[in-house]
Chain A
Amino acid sequence: MADVILEMANITKTFPGVKALDQVNFQVEKGEIHFLVGENGAGKSTLMKVLSGVYPYGNYEGDIIYEGKVQQFNKIQDSVNVGIAIIYQELALFPDLSVYENIYMGNEVKDGGIINWNQTIVKAKEMLQKVNLKVNPETLIKDLGVGKQQLVEIAKALSKQVKLLILDEPTAALNEDDSENLLELIKELKKQGITCIMISHKLKEVAAIADKATILRDGQTIITLDAKKGEIDEPTIIRHMVGREMNQIYPERANRNIGDTVLELINWSAYDTQLGRAVVKDANLHLKRGEIIGIAGLMGAGRTELALSMFGNPKSYKLMGSMALNGQAQNFKHTSDAIKAGMAYVTEDRKGNGLFLLNTITKNVSASKLSGIAHNGIINTNEEIKVAEHYKNSLHIKASSIEQLVGKLSGGNQQKVSLGKWLFAGPNILILDEPTRGIDVGAKFEIYSVMNTLIEKGMSIIMISSELGEILGMSDRIYVMAEGKITGELDRQEADQEKVMALATK
């Protein structure tokens, strides 16, 4: 079967400062189930966005050859018109509309410009049958579970005569049964001649149903494995996923002085009432004085949720289990309680919820401990300036002055401001969520050095990171998470890339 439906040749896509895709070649044959596998940031989603026209023609280099023709998609609608449909992990449904309205949204069944609702319902029923979903088409989307919503998305794609269906981590939010169902459906669609590209972190699924699997790493195609040749199995995939050279240098730590346990979680669970599912499940974890623990895992593993649930629970999850600081049980009502107890959390999304971009460095640094620069509620500006100057110098923040707006700094310097803001709060336990995401190598090294200095002073650090190198290079112990569970704990000596990845894809 050499009937190629899609070929992406030498695709290169650059974002300011980063090469997200570098000469990627990717070939899909008609009627196959083709998996795209890789670490976070390997370029899977970017590649699919190029394919579906999210990044318009001319925005990338290379060719997309679909059904034998070079395609130039300028917008998403162009790719939809030729039968390509993409279903994102975050479903794009309207929760307050019914199933049939959703299926035909943007593709309405019309008689001379007027919507024929009866016809719509009849057609929607056919589509629902195709995906084996037995619900009344008049049900509202919000009353369906995530698994069924996913099927509605697929029905929507089918209604547009889809030939190439792309699913971005379709089973990430599903339970076992729903995942099982979905995979069955994909196999069923394959029989009907629909080609399917799936992005997945669950290697078991890949091994179970893939015809082919292409592995991306750092924006490059590593290899395409073929099931017929017996090439697809978990260890092989992991080997190709992680085979990165460890050339990043991590600063030496002078001495490891690991003390008593400062934080302990026992059977810790967090239930997100808005999503309607548990985001952290039965986590057991401890952190000692002067220790860095790394929390590894792939996107959506529940690492940030774990951090938030510990740090005063700003998302109001329902919490179960116990958390103790220095042996004392804690029940934080607000983030301010966590800060008072000596915790600090440097967020993953520094622009979104970490910093006040329209404010100066000075005002950002003081924000998490205004009491530290105020007497009786009145701010001592001189004191504040001294504090800001101190962190600007000690963290080497490059800015014209501390009066510069944080929004105008580079990513690395913003991260340092974020760090400074939390160091000023004087924590014993510092949670760093993706501390070096999107910043250059020099700034990374500086942040690692700061981490080491802090540890030597007796602080404890929880570092959440998607970068395996960083996890292995900096941590004393590593916890690996997958689907809200801690799937394993590795010691510094025993950990390597394969072991971490195997736990993360469990």
Chain B
Amino acid sequence: MNLLKETSHLIKDNIRDYGMYIALVAIMITFNVMTSGTFMSSRNISNLLDASGYIAVLAVGMTLVIVIRHIDLSVGYVAGFLGAIAAILLMQQGLSVWLVIPIILVLGIVIGLMNGFLIAQLGIPAFVASLAGMLIFRGALLQVTEGTGTIIVQDDIFNAIGNGYLPAIKYFYNRHVLTLIIGAVGVVLYIFSELKNRHDKSKYNFDVISMPIFLIKLVFVSAIIAYITWILAGYNGISWTLVIVLLVTMVYHFITNKTVLGRQVYAVGSNPEAAHLSGINVKNVTYMVMGSMSMLAALSGILYTSRLQSATTTAGMLFELDAIAAAYVGGVSSAGGVGKVTGAIIGAIVMASLTNGMNLLGVGISYQYMIRGGVLAGAVIFDVITRKRGK
């Protein structure tokens, strides 16, 4: 009885944080039932995660941009353009892939700083500044691919980024052993960090959830991690794309939660005036966030080009809107100051799951757009309502 009460309290108080996880689980179960198990098959989940990688990294950057109350519409074509530049450098200039990747990322940062200059220095609304960027880079993409049309990339290392998997070392009952090991390490690390967290909290006499609930949570989350790795291990294991997305998530999660810079980002987003009066340089923070956004756009371009093994004239189209949608589904607040990097990843997976599941079910593309639009609207309505109730 007490357990139930605490659970319902916990869900009520943290509905904003848990909402999207609940939604994701609900979506996955629903699709799995409707497709009689195809949705959660090893092959499908593996594909789903790999196909959402280039949007997921954009959503991470976009979350921070929205947290500081701006927007970046240029990221789609920046990704497309820089993906094409990567293909040109590899195939036409013959540069090594180990040189191309850093060059592209640095170009991304430069583009982001230019956006930052327009927004922070000249005070142009981010919407307009990045709309201009969107047009410019769309043109630039056409310009560089005009002569050749689609550029086919024939570089095994580069193509592995979007299509390759970690080596298996060995198979165990047809399961990818390295993946299983990584999953096991993940579970151990998760349990360890939760225990440490709980220990720290009780050291300072903060409220902690009761022991049974804590154990249930540990078992539940560990089971999910184990289940997903088990599924992935049944196909080709963990892909390089997934490794990159996880790395980006971890780095950004660390920066936003544990560093001065991260703290400043949220301070600027939650109250720019108070941030300025607290001695935080709002302009510099804006530069950093816009720079990081375009760097991730460059990464997204690399992931996408590699996945297609070619740079096309339309690469990057509507990426920005998918990323924005993923960020909002992931719980970022349009009022600024609120939004988590992990949420953005979940948001991207939710949106990818919807597309994937509906494709499996053979839902027409017209309905797909409508349903995804409905989910986006629903997520924002949910955010607004829970925020009001919080007050």
Contacts and interface: CB of A to CB of B under 8 A. Distances in A.
A356 B263 contact: no
Contacts of A355: 271, 274
A425 B267 CA distance: 16
Contacts of A135: none
Contacts of A311: 277
Contacts of B206: 401, 403
Given A334-B279, A336-B281, A339-B279, A357 B259 contact: no
A377 B271 contact: no
B277 A370 contact: no
Contacts of B337: 356, 358-359
Interface stretch (A144-152, A201-209, A231-239, A381-389): A381-389
A374 interface: yes
Interface residues of A, number: 41
Interface string B256-276: 001111111011001101111
Interface string A326-356: 0000000011101110000101000011111
B278 A421 contact: yes
Nearest to B273: A353
A275 interface: no
A430 to B, nearest CB: 14
B210 interface: no
B273 A359 contact: no
A355 B278 CA distance: 9
A368 B259 contact: no
Contacts of A339: 278-279
Contact of A359 (B205, B270, B276, B279): B270
A434 B262 CA distance: 31
A477 interface: no
A363 interface: yes
Contact of B263 (A314, A347, A367, A389): A367
B274 to A, nearest CB: 5
A325 to B, nearest CB: 16
Contacts of A363: 263, 266
Contact of B258 (A314, A340, A379): A379
B146 interface: no
A139 interface: no
Contacts of B261: 377
B281 A359 contact: no
A1 interface: no
Interface string B43-83: 00000000000000000000000000000000000000000
Contact of A377 (B259, B267, B391): B259
Contacts of A371: 260
Contact of A379 (B260, B274, B277, B279): B260
B160 interface: no
A35 B262 CA distance: 53
Interface in B327-350: 337-338
B204 interface: yes
A64 B57 CA distance: 63
A378 interface: yes
A191 to B, nearest CB: 47
B194 interface: no
Interface in B276-293: 276-281
A208 B267 CA distance: 51
Contacts of A338: 279
Contacts of B273: 314, 352-353
Q: Name, among B258, B262, B270, B278, the residue most crowded by chain A CB atoms within 10 Å (CB to CB).
A: B278
B284 to A, nearest CB: 10
Nearest to A337: B279
A367 to B, nearest CB: 5
B14 to A, nearest CB: 13
Contacts of B281: 334, 336
B204 A367 contact: no
A383 to B, nearest CB: 12
B270 A358 contact: yes
Contact of A357 (B204, B260, B271): B271
A356 B260 contact: no
Interface in A397-431: 400-403, 407, 421, 425
Nearest to B274: A353
A368 B270 contact: no
A434 to B, nearest CB: 15
Contacts of B260: 370-371, 374, 377-379
Given A347-B277, A401-B205, A401-B206, A356 B270 contact: yes
Contacts of B259: 374, 377-379
A374 B257 CA distance: 12
B271 A370 contact: no
B204 A389 contact: yes
A401 B277 contact: no
A335 B278 CA distance: 7
Given A356-B337, A358-B270, A381-B258, A345 B263 contact: no
Contact of B338 (A347, A358, A369, A377): A358
Interface of A: 311-312, 314, 334-336, 338-340, 345, 347, 352-359, 363, 366-371, 374, 377-379, 381-382, 385, 389, 400-403, 407, 421, 425
9 contacts: A335-B278, A356-B337, A358-B337, A367-B267, A367-B275, A367-B280, A377-B261, A379-B258, A425-B279
Given A335-B276, A354-B277, A356-B275, 5 more contacts: A339-B278, A354-B274, A367-B267, A367-B275, A378-B260
